[in-house]
Amino acid sequence: MKSILLTGAGGFLGRQLLWQLKDEDDFYVYAITSNPERLKEIISASNIKVVKKGDDLDWKNVDIVIHSAFARSGISSEYITSLEYSKDIFQNAVSNRVKAIINISSQSVYGNNQNIPWKEDAMLMPQDMYAMAKASSEIILNVLSEKSSTVATNLRLSSIMLNARFVNVFVQNAIDYVPINIIGGTQQFSFMDIRDAASAIIELIRTSQTSWDKVYNLGTGKQNSIIEIADIIRDVAKSYVEKKVIINIEKKDIPPNSYMDIRKFTELTNWSAKYDICDMVKSQFEYLFDKKQKGENIKFSNNYPFTYLWQ
């Protein structure tokens, strides 16, 4: 049995990882969260131990660290706090000879690099504080683990559909009979379902750590234009609303978004994405439409624009 220390266990990715690991006899999870009582209400399993962030840990029993805790607030001081926490986690793992560390990074570290599709050796050109902080976390991990027995890798995740605010707005507009307004039309996006992200990480920890490289891109490897996404939303909406969804397009020359080459990860793990863009849109409709039917508030908060119901 492998013992996993999971930081950020109460976040989107952390909760989905716990859900997929809760019935696995091969893994025992120390789930680190700042709100342990809330997490205990959500999930309970014999192979999951919820631990409050800051409490003492028995590092000698940890085989793998999955570090997913990180601020997304846009506030610089919170990114500094996240980097300090990352450094502490990495230092403790390395000094206690933990076998492996997976640092959850982001495709945003590639930023304005025009060498598309991005491969793992592409130059990092972060454009905002979040991307710069993620790039910094990678550097910290690489430096701390360089001459140690701990195998460390940085997993650069594609955009998770949960955080795709424009898609959330389009779906909500369809439910509320509000036209979907598009500026541009040529933009390309590559989204990933949170369930796929979790399953891919689990496939990675099943592989031999001796074969891990220092960085991997993780996504679906597929793109859709913003118009294609709007058309999918219009088609899916037919199952939920009576009126036809109106799409207005204001043509404008906007550079297409970029995407990652994921072959390195898929060749290592033989993993492939299960959910396509249509599946992701359907999940959002199911969640939002159910909320509306119950008369609940379906407005998105800035911090948590969307979340899947626990299966």
Residue 84 lies in a domain: yes
Side-chain half-sphere exposure of 35, counting CA atoms within 13 A: 10
Q: What is the pLDDT of residues 183-221, one digit of tens each?
A: 998 888 999 999 999 999 999 999 999 999 999 999 999
State how many domains the chain has: 2
* 118 DSSP β-pair partners: 260
Residue 60 lies in a domain: yes
The answer to whether residues 280 and 199 belong to one domain is no
Query: Residue 101 and residue 68: Cα distance in Å, rounded?
Result: 11
The per-residue pLDDT string of the chain (311 residues; one tens digit each, 9 = 90 and over) reads 899 999 999 998 999 999 999 989 999 999 999 999 989 988 889 999 999 999 999 999 999 999 999 998 889 999 999 999 999 999 999 999 999 999 999 999 999 898 889 999 999 999 999 999 999 999 999 999 999 999 999 999 999 987 788 998 999 999 999 999 999 988 889 999 999 999 999 999 999 999 999 999 999 999 999 999 999 999 999 998 999 999 999 988 887 777 899 999 999 999 999 999 999 999 888 877 766 655 555 443 333 334 444 43
Residue 97 lies in a domain: yes
Residue 269 lies in a domain: no
Residue 169: burial class (beta carbons within 10 Å; 0-12, 13-18, 19+): middle
The answer to whether residues 106 and 227 belong to one domain is no
Kindly list the distances between the CA atom of residue 173 and the CA atoms of 1, 179, 235, in Å, as whole numbers in the listed order.
Answer: 47, 6, 14
The answer to whether residues 184 and 77 belong to one domain is no
The answer to whether residues 57 and 140 belong to one domain is yes
Residue 305: burial class (beta carbons within 10 Å; 0-12, 13-18, 19+): middle
The answer to whether residues 205 and 61 belong to one domain is yes
For 286, the domain range is: 161-190+221-258+275-293
Q: Which residue, chain included where needed, has tokens 């959910």?
A: 275
Are 144 and 261 in contact, with CB atoms under 8 Å apart? no
Kindly list the distances between the CA atom of residue 270 and the CA atoms of 53, 163, 207, 262, 266, in Å, as whole numbers in the listed order.
Answer: 34, 26, 10, 11, 5
Query: Residue 14 and residue 153: Cα distance in Å, rounded?
Result: 18
Strand ranges of the sheet holding 48-52, from the earlier edge strand across to the other edge: 48-52, 27-33, 2-7, 64-67, 100-106, 151-157, 215-218
Instruction: Check which CATH number belongs to the domain holding 101 and give it.
Output: 3.40.50.720
The answer to whether residues 11 and 146 belong to one domain is yes
Q: Which residue, chain included where needed, has tokens 């979040």?
A: 130
Token pair for 165: 């605010």
The answer to whether residues 27 and 71 belong to one domain is yes
